[in-house]
Amino acid sequence: MIIIMSSAATTEQISRIVERIERDKLDAHLSQGEERTIIGVVGDDRQIDRTQYLAYSGVEKIVPILKPFKLSSRTFQAEDTVINIKGAQFGGAKVEVIAGPCAIESEAQILEIANTVKALGATALRGGAFQARTSPYSFQGLGEQALKYLKQAGAATGLATITSVNATEQVERVASYVDVLEISASNTQNYALLKAVGKTNKPVLLRRGKSVTVEELLMAAEYILAEGNPNVMLCERGIRTFETYTRNTADINAIPLLKQLSHLPVLFDPCDATGQWELVTPMARAAVAAGADGLIIEVHPDPEEALCDGPQSLKPELFGTLVTQIRAVATAIGRS
């Protein structure tokens, strides 16, 4: 349930509500706006008498939540969450662009790509260090050495840095190197990992798994939010269907739907969604038109020689064209 405090509620009155919630063996999560405080009550509240909370001074009303996701819902927070990462505003008026290689192959490679994508309009740098690949024989990444290269590239360019973390024991180490922790599609429902990143103060980019529903994605986000980390970004990157001509099936529907259901920023990865570089730019345009807050684009100077996801990576000149086109779409719908 959601407890909406009156605009005149005092700090003491809010504290008394929180104490009561904890006494009922539930968790309280505060969203403090300019006019009033909203308290999200997380846990099984079926055994308590909700009307008892109305007896407390400062309580305006109680709103039951029918959907299983609470903290990520628009009911809990009506206004969009905007996450500021080194100047990039994810969830704001500007459509942010994250770009970089699927995998970091060398210090020279990631530094070259970082400088290139920044010059072409990217506001954040992605690069894989620990690669969670379907085949154990595929390139698995350079590990911690890649994290060092990524940190150096971020420092040299001023770009925010993003990489995947694939196991709970990696969280603290990876968090010490990058600005954003990414949860790969294969780990969307790795609940131990979600709880671990939820205990950090790092923004989290949560990818939707191939067979994960929209509700299940929001429930995965709930695990992170419930641990006290409010900085979660959702990423649509295609789902598995009967179609075989593309790597996945891009669920463009999910973008406006997630924006309707949740206050969290929504990003789109047209590279993973299609698996073909020729389809990346038109799908990026479509995602921005549908309301995406940001894009994740794989860029490589020589895709034919890339150690990971070469067929879906853009060469720098094509990435530059993509950025120009999505800015035009963003302007047409009142964004930038």
- Asked whether the beta carbons of 322 and 124 are under 8 A apart, the reply is no
Which run of H or E residues covers position 15? helix 11-23
Confidence of residue 134 (pLDDT cuts 50, 70, 90): low
Mean pLDDT for 300-326 is 95
Average pLDDT of span 312-327: 98
Q: How confident is the model at residue 109 (pLDDT cuts 50, 70, 90)?
A: very high
H/E run at residue 100: strand 96-100
Q: Are 295 and 262 in contact (CB under 8 A)?
A: no
Give the mean model confidence (pLDDT) for residues 207-225.
97
Fold entry, domain 2-63: Alpha-Beta Plaits (3.30.70)
Euclidean distance between CA atoms 329 and 94, whole angstroms: 12
Nearest to 288, CA basis, from 259, 315, 264, 317: 259
Residue 36 — pLDDT band, cuts 50, 70, 90?
confident
For residue 146, the model assigns a pLDDT of 94
User: Is 141's pLDDT higher than 80?
Assistant: no
**Helix orientation angle between 316-332 and 277-290, rounded to the nearest 10 degrees:** 20
Task: Give percent of the chain above pLDDT 90.
Answer: 86
DSSP-based three-state secondary structure for 39: strand
Q: Which has the higher per-residue pLDDT, 33 or 224?
A: 224
pLDDT of residue 219: 97
Q: What is the pLDDT of residue 137?
A: 64
Closest CA to 3 of 68, 72, 51: 51
As a whole number of angstroms, the distance between CA 206 and CA 191 comes to 12
- Closest by CA to 316, choosing from 260, 272, 277, 262, is 277
Can you read off the two tokens belonging to residue 332? 């047409």
Task: At 273, give phi and psi (nearest 5°).
Answer: -65, -35
Q: In the 3-class helix/strand/coil scheme, how is 219-270 assigned residue by residue?
A: HHHHHHHHCCCCCEEEEECCECCCCCCCCCECCCCHHHHHHHHECCCEEECH
Confidence class of residue 33 from pLDDT cuts 50, 70 and 90? confident
The predicted pLDDT at position 66 comes to 76
Number of H helices, E strands in the chain: 10, 14
The domain locations on the chain are 2-63, 83-332
pLDDT(73) > 70 = yes
Q: Do 40 and 78 form a contact (C-beta atoms < 8 A)?
A: no
Residues 304-313 have a mean pLDDT of 92
Of the listed ranges 29-38, 232-241, 252-261, the one predicted with least confidence: 29-38
CATH number for the region 83-332 comes to: 3.20.20.70
| Residue 299, pLDDT above cutoff 70 | yes
Return phi, psi of residue 44, to 5°. Answer: -80, 100
pLDDT band at 149 (very low <50, low <70, confident <90, very high): very high
* Residue 95 pLDDT > 90: yes
Q: Exposed (0-12), middle (13-18) or buried (19+): which is 23, by Cβ within 10 Å?
A: exposed
List of residues 6+ apart from 162 with CB closer than 8 A: 98, 124, 125, 126, 127, 178, 179, 180, 181, 182, 205
Check residue 51 and give its pLDDT.
85
pLDDT at 152: 98
Position 50 pLDDT exceeds 90: no
Tell me, what's the pLDDT at 132? 67
Q: What is the mean pLDDT of the chain?
A: 94
CB 152 within 8 A of CB 172: no
Enter the DSSP assignment of 315.
P
Is 83-332 in the same CATH topology as 2-63?
Answer: no
Least confident segment among 19-23, 39-43, 115-119, 216-220: 39-43
- Is 336's pLDDT higher than 90? yes
